[in-house]
Amino acid sequence: MRTVVRAALGACVVLLGLAGPAVAAASPTPPTAQPSIIGGGDATETYSFMVSLSNGCGGSLVAPQWIVTANHCGDATQGRIGSTDKNSGGEVGQIDRRITKPGTDLTLMHLSTPAKATPVFMAQANPAPGTSARLIGWGCTSWPACQHPTTLQEIDLQVLASSACAAGGGGAGDVCISGDRTHSACHGDSGGPALIGSPGRWTLIGETHGPGDNNGECATTTLYTGLAQHVAWIQQQIGQLQAGR
């Protein structure tokens, strides 16, 4: 996340990697690590598309060789895909390139070989305010005294009107998720997903960008870069590069 990244280094050397919700839109390649889930619990299922990046951020597998994450997460050399354990399990893919959409915090990371895991569907439209949304990640489970989990965390919150995260830099096409001091994304969740749906039928609605206001880094609403507004661009990049291989 925007400010989450700075705090991750200064306060806990972690991330919002939604890696950490702390970030600024289209910020330059920053230090590693950022925001985690506060007030959540251990994952109740294995999310085949969830990625733990080697730089501490999160990401989502959207095609066999493509991961969606946050630009502010910077570079990563590999990602562990489809495991609830940050350090083991799933499959490890090597990242050989990245593409960032100009003027956004959205980055695509390319895997050198296709993953066997099942990718997540990408939203074609933003969900209505009041819709239940699930956040998952390995970010801080408490704030400001940050503690990092080994087991993937999840929490169900609500989609708010996009304007509710305007103070954090969000636009009409972005997704704002509810939160407070005991329920929120945090450092180490950056780049990771916000989802709607149900077990085995999840849809990616956003990647963790940062706090939804200017009052803190965690324990607040969280701003997610809305995927629906960028789906055409994502599909274009994936199609062009796959065709050129």
Q: What is the pLDDT of residues 1-18, one digit of tens each?
A: 543 333 333 333 333 433
- Give me the pLDDT at residue 114, please: 97
Q: What is the pLDDT of residues 94-131, one digit of tens each?
A: 999 999 999 999 999 999 999 999 999 999 999 999 99
- Give me the pLDDT at residue 241, please: 58
Nearest to 226 by CA among 155, 159, 150, 175: 175
Average pLDDT over residues 29-33: 35
Confidence at 148, pLDDT banded by 50, 70, 90: confident
Please name the residues in contact with 66: beta carbons below 8 A apart, sequence gap of 6 or more.
108, 109, 110, 111, 119, 234, 238
Domains and CATH numbers, the chain: 1-245 (2.40.10.120)
In whole angstroms, what is the distance from residue 186 CA to residue 198 CA? 23
Q: What is the pLDDT of residues 209-223, one digit of tens each?
A: 999 987 667 888 999
Confidence at 171, pLDDT banded by 50, 70, 90: very high
- Give me the pLDDT at residue 214, please: 73
- Give me the pLDDT at residue 240, please: 65
Confidence at 177, pLDDT banded by 50, 70, 90: very high
- Give me the pLDDT at residue 1, please: 52
Number of neighbouring beta carbons within 10 Å of residue 156: 11
